[in-house]
Amino acid sequence: MFQKLPLSFFNKDKGPYGLLSVFMFIAVGLTLLPAIIAASSLLSPSFEVWAHLWDTILPRMILNTLLLLTGVSIGTFMIGTVLAWLVTAYEFPGKKTFKWLLVLPMAVPAYIMGFIYMAMFDFAGPFQTFFRNVLGMQIAFPQIRSGFGAIVVMTLVLYPYVYLLAKAGFEEQSGSAFEAAKVLGAGRLRTFLKVALPLARPSIAAGVALAAMESLADFATVRYFNFPTVADGILRVWHGLMDLGAASEMAGLLAFFSLLLLLSEQKLRSRRAYHQTKGKNQDVPATFLTGRKAFAAVFLCASVFFAAFGLPLIQLIYWAVLEISQITPHALSVYGQLASRSLTLSVTAAFFTVFTALFIASVSRLGKGKFLRYLARASTVGYSIPGAVIGVGILIPLSALDRYINVLAGSLWGIDLGLIFTGSLIGLVYAYVVRFMAIAYGSVDSSMDKIPPNTVLAARVLGANAWRIIFHIKLPLILPGIIAGAVLVFVDVMKELPITVILRPMSYDTLSIWVWQMAAESLWTDTALPALAIVLVGIVPVWMLMRKR
Amino acid sequence: MNKKPLYIALVAVLVIAAFFIGGMVDFTAAPQQQQAAEQEAPAQPTPAPAAPVQPPQQPDRPGIINIYTSRHYGVEPVFDKFTEETGIEIRFTTGSDALLRERLRAEGANTPADMYIAVDAGNLWLAAQDGLLAALDSDILMNNIPENLRDPEGRWFGLTKRVRTLMYHPDRVSPEELSTYEDLADPRWKGRIAMRPSTHSYTQSLVSSLIAAHGVERAEEIVRGWAQNEPVYIDSDTRLLEALAAGEADVAITNHYYLGRILQDNPDFPIQIFWANQADRGAHVNVSGAGVTAHGPNRENAIKLLEWLSGDGQEMFASTNHEFPANPNVAAHPIIVGFGEYIADPLDKSEYGRLQAEAVKLLNRAGYQ
């Protein structure tokens, strides 16, 4: 009976829970606000703009969005699943290294990968020029400035989501199912298709959904590739037609797409149960590959790794060397400032996100029923909403609030407070918290689940007071979860583009903004150092993730 | 109990706390950059009141200027020189013309910006239209900048001229084949042209000038003709020129100075410039220019800078980017002097702004990407 007590960061028998849950309601409400604002703008549509868009570019944008979703889903599914199966079910030279090398492309944001591929592989780029001028071959390369290019690039940076989850799915599987399949005469391929793949379906579906979601939210990469999607449309309407209202309605449309995605992922998981019992030493038996087959396996892993990580890294380093050779003190100080701003933002956002997650996860354990737990889950919805939607959904209420406060302060005290929310980092950090809450919450919540109730009860029996229990037992136990959550949010904020573009205060360029702007002007070498910094920082959590295994 | 993880955690928390505190300091400073005294009194708790109430600056502190600018290429040296001469510190916020104007509008009377520099006259006009720019009564500016390159009410001043015109590869196109922007709509250019997408203000202003010259209907036909010739769309003038050199297309429309910039590094670059529409209204000229904001806190400094840019600083400002100086008494960079004389479309630059939304819709309707 004692063991069933939901244990929380706070002690259950102390403190005013009523007040705490009110705070929690407010916190969860604030994380839901941007989505609600964006969705509610759809209730009063700007008919004139929509009619114009519908007659002109909207159908193509919707079609492009669907094409991108389909292409990236299929691409990441194929690459991610095949590679995961290869490193789970087979032994070949270098397998241990490839196992984690293949995760690294995750550290390259799509908008960086996009312009690198563009610079290398478009008609005037070194690759095609080499074939034309040196080899004298007239090959009709596919146009890289197209949906094809966008899909290839996004597949390359997003397949690790599927790879990681599929690998976990395969590793959880019990070897006995495979023995059974073997005894019944199924070949290796048949076993994969009929046993391993269906069993790993929930993990794979989750991975593909993540990848698809990311591609849906992207607006920078698709613009490099002349492949306007709905996300790009938000900026077109806002900056070209100068209509923020219509832009936020467009954001509502985007939110609708991501809802569709979430539903289809649920559908894919379906109502089946996927329980498996796995005893000791019952891993999926690995087959040793030799000769040509081993070579093929190594070749496949190496070429995916090279295309998705090696090549872009080499290009960035090459540009960085060019840049360093002629760098001015001024440029150096600009880079220093960009880096310190990115760091400031990432650290601040990581702090507030983890803090809020900790609070919500703790309070949600106080209630008797499941209501508070569901409410806590709802606060993580931001991760499935594209950044641009959150950005616009926050800009609208905060700028209204700013205006209201200024009118009020002006009439009451005759002072001018300035733009408190939209002119500072408050709006920006708020948006990051909303967007990345899911990451921090998942991390903190799961480590809270692991606090052994007996240890806490024992401490209490031994006379420890509430504070002592919090600081000497609970906090140290959930610290790894807190740190992991903070690092993940840190890296995601470092890479983040759409929210930063929309909500950054004036004169607040970050590394990612700089890279995006310089890449848009084709000033490749100017992007190199900041882009390298983003990629290298992105490797940190991958390294942490892999070290744990 | 093993205490090592705890120590590591403690250090981590301290580091994070340090960053966080650093962040908070920056965080309060960012929205209040207008405070000239900020560096000396960072803890000043209340934001500065509007400019007139501000205490007089100490004579030994020449102050600062905050600039919103979309020019991020090679502009620093000229501003460094101004700082050297006057001691006034200059701070930049870069972004696209439209985004910066949106911010100015949103900030209203609270803006920290003293000056708005845009690379497109349309955006200067729109900013003036929204009441974001102050009308200046400066004889220096009026004398230095010709009438057709500035706002009649003195709210903005063109500082440099850029000509958006035809570029071609001489191996595949002879100059006799070229004539006008309109001519690129002819089916004989199918598959041979390269263009900047409709999302960029350079394209939007060019189309505005077509609307002004021909009316919406005829302009739409021309743009539809371009689109039907299936141009390669590249969102970078530099990359457009490189595409021509590599043979991806034969003719492109770009700003003249991108060619100047490439020629500076590589005199053998094969692409040639062709001044468009010389037999009729002249080539499409845009200006990069600036205005002093209506509510900026350092207006005197900003006016000083603007006057300096139109006079002493003009040559350096224009030639670092191979643009034509707006001040007729100032010499242009030798590379672009080599491009030859041209006739400019005399159209009032304000039209670019007036017609922008119409141009965007027209581009969408015509199927131009």
Lowest mean pLDDT among A110-124, A411-425, A458-472: A411-425
Whether residue A226 and residue B235 make contact (CB cut-off 8 A), yes or no, is yes
- Give the closest residue to A422 by CA, choosing from A399, A456, A400: A399
Task: Assess whether A300 and A396 both reside in one domain.
Answer: no
Most confident of A88-102, A355-369, B157-171: B157-171
Query: Which of B42-46, B341-345, B358-362 is predicted with the least confidence, judged by mean pLDDT?
Result: B42-46
The pLDDT value recorded for residue B240 is 94
End-to-end alpha carbon distance in chain B: 66
- State how far the Cα of B208 lies from the Cα of B203, in Å rounded to an integer: 9
- The domain that holds A178 is classified in CATH as 1.10.3720.10
Is the pLDDT assigned to residue B44 strictly greater than 50? no
Regarding whether A236 and A258 lie in a shared domain, the answer is: yes
Within 330-359 of A, beta carbons closer than 8 Å to B belong to 330, 340-341, 343-345, 347-348, 350-351
Q: Could B30 and A343 be called an inter-chain contact, meaning their C-beta atoms sit closer than 8 Å?
A: no
Nearest to B27 among A228, A418, A425 (CB): A425
Q: For residues A28 and A375, give the distance between their C-alpha atoms in angstroms, rounded to a whole number.
A: 7
Contact A234, A103 (CB under 8 A): no
Q: How many CB atoms lie within 10 A of CB A540?
A: 15
Pairing label, strands B324-325, B157-168: antiparallel
Q: Is the pLDDT of residue A280 over 70?
A: no
CA distance B331 to B336: 10
Nearest to A226 among B22, B233, B242 (CB): B233
CB < 8 Å to A53, chain B: 364
The average pLDDT across A235-239 equals: 81
Picking from B33, B110, B255 by the largest number of A CB atoms within 10 A of its own CB, the best residue to mutate is B110
Distance to chain B for A121, nearest Cα, Å: 12
Note whether B243 contacts A517, CB cutoff 8 Å: no
Instruction: Report yes or no on A279 lying in a domain.
Output: no
- The predicted structure's pLDDT at residue B58: 41
| Interchain proximity A241–B357, CB inside 8 Å | yes
| 3-state SS class at B165 | strand
One domain for residues A302 and A379: no
Q: Which range of residues forms the domain containing residue A53? A: 45-270+290-315
Bridge partners of B69? B94, B117
Confidence of residue B104 (pLDDT cuts 50, 70, 90): confident
Mean pLDDT of chain A: 83
pLDDT at B33: 35
Mutate: best of B248, B355, B362, partner A, most A CBs <10 A:
B248
B9, closest residue in chain A (CA to CA): A479
pLDDT interval class at A14 (50, 70, 90): very low
Q: Identify whether residues A62 and A90 lie together within a single domain.
A: yes
Give B-chain residues touching A355 at CB under 8 angstroms.
none
User: B9, A483: Cβ pair inside 8 Å?
Assistant: yes
- Which residues from A are below 8 Å from B27, CB to CB? 344, 348, 424-425
Percent of chain A with pLDDT over 90: 26
The reported pLDDT for the residue numbered A403 is 77
| Nearest CB to A52; choose among B72, B103, B361 | B361
> For B295-339, how does the pLDDT look when each residue is reduced to its tens digit (9 = 90+)?
999 999 999 999 999 999 999 999 888 999 999 999 999 999 999
Structure tokens at A348: 């601040």
Q: What residues in A contact B367, CB-CB < 8 Å?
A: 56
Are both A353 and A335 inside the same structural domain?
Answer: yes
Cα angle value A238/A243/A245 (rounded, 5°): 105
The shortest C-alpha distance from A124 to chain B (Å) reads 5
Looking at residue A157, its pLDDT comes to 94
Would A392 be classed as within a structural domain?
yes
Indicate if A448 and A336 belong to the same structural domain: yes
> What domains are there in chain B, each with its CATH number?
61-161+286-325 (3.40.190.10), 163-284+334-365 (3.40.190.10)
Among B9, B110, B248, the residue with its CB nearest the CB of A423 is B110
In this structure, the answer to whether residues A302 and A423 fall within a common structural domain is: no
Residue of higher predicted confidence among A186 and A494: A494
Please give the residue of chain B at the shortest CA–CA distance from A518. B72
The tens digit of pLDDT for each residue in B205-246 reads 999 999 999 999 999 999 999 999 999 999 889 989 999 999
Which positions 454-513 of A are in contact with B (Cβ < 8 Å)? 476, 479, 483, 486, 505-509
| Residues of chain A contacting B232 with CB distance shorter than 8 Å | 123, 145
Q: Is the pLDDT of residue B20 over 50?
A: no
| pLDDT exceeds 70 at position B131 | yes
Whether residue A294 is found in the same domain as residue A374: no
Q: Answer yes or no: do A72 and A32 share one domain.
A: no
Cα–Cα distance between A438 and B132 in angstroms, integer?
41
Of the residues A53, A61, A118, A416, the best mutation for testing chain B's interface (the one with the most B CB atoms within 10 Å of its CB) is A416
Give the C-alpha separation, B18 to B24, whole Å. 10
- Are A248 and A41 in contact by the 8 Å Cβ rule? The answer is yes
**Based on the structure, what is the number of domains in chain A?**
2
A176, A235: one domain:
yes
**Per-residue pLDDT for A368 more than 70?**
no
Read off the pLDDT of each residue in A289-295 and give the average, rounded to a whole number: 89
Helices and strands counted in chain A (H then E): 26, 2
Lowest mean pLDDT among A328-332, B167-171, B252-256: A328-332
Q: Please check whether residue A525 lies inside any domain of the structure.
A: no
pLDDT digits (tens, 9 = 90+) for B259-297: 998 999 899 999 999 999 999 999 999 999 999 999 999
Q: Which residues of B touch A416 (CB under 8 A)?
A: 47, 49-50, 109-110
Whether A357 and A503 share a structural domain: yes
**Which residues on adjacent β-strands are paired with residue A260?**
none
| N-term to C-term CA, chain A | 34
Write out pLDDT tens, residues A200-234.
888 888 889 888 888 988 888 898 898 999 988 88
Note which residues in 398-437 of chain A have CB less than 8 A from chain B.
399, 406, 415-420, 422-425
Yes or no, beta carbons of A520 and B94 under 8 Å apart? no
Query: Considering only alpha carbons, which residue of chain A is nearest residue B80?
Result: A330
Q: Looking at the structure, do residues A18 and A91 belong to the same domain, yes or no? A: no
Q: For residue B61, what pLDDT band results from cuts at 50, 70 and 90?
A: low
- Which pLDDT does position A152 carry in this prediction? 95
CB B363 within 8 A of CB B203: yes
Domain assignment present for A89: yes
Q: For B269-287, give the DSSP string.
A: ---EEE-TTTTTT-BEEEE
- On the 0-12 / 13-18 / 19+ scale of CB atoms within 10 A, A148 is middle
Determine, yes or no, domain membership for A284.
no
Write out residues 123-152 of A within 8 Å (CB-CB) of B: 123-124, 128-129, 132, 145
Mutation target vs A (from B234, B250, B258; most A CBs, 10 A cutoff): B234
pTM attached to this predicted model: 0.81
Instruction: Count CA atoms within 13 Å of residue A414 on its CB side.
Output: 1
The closest CB to that of A57, out of B31, B47, B364, belongs to: B364
d(CA B119, CA B130): 18
Nearest CA-CA distance, residue A316 and chain B, Å: 18
| Residue A514 domain flag | no
Decide if B31 and A239 are in contact by the 8 Å CB cutoff.
Answer: no
Residue A250 has pLDDT above 80, yes or no: yes
CA distance A445 to chain B (A): 19
Residue A537 placed within a domain: no
How many other CB atoms sit within 10 Å of the CB of residue B356?
24
Give B-chain residues touching A56 at CB under 8 angstroms. Answer: 361, 364-365, 367
User: Cβ separation of A224 and B235 shorter than 8 Å?
Assistant: yes
**Picking from A423-437, A512-526, B26-40, which range would have the lowest pLDDT averaged per residue?**
B26-40
The span from the CA of B283 to the CA of B180, in Å, is 9
Is the pLDDT at A16 greater than 70? The verdict is no
Distance, CA of B49 to CA of A170 (rounded, Å): 64
Is there a domain that residue A341 lies in?
Answer: yes
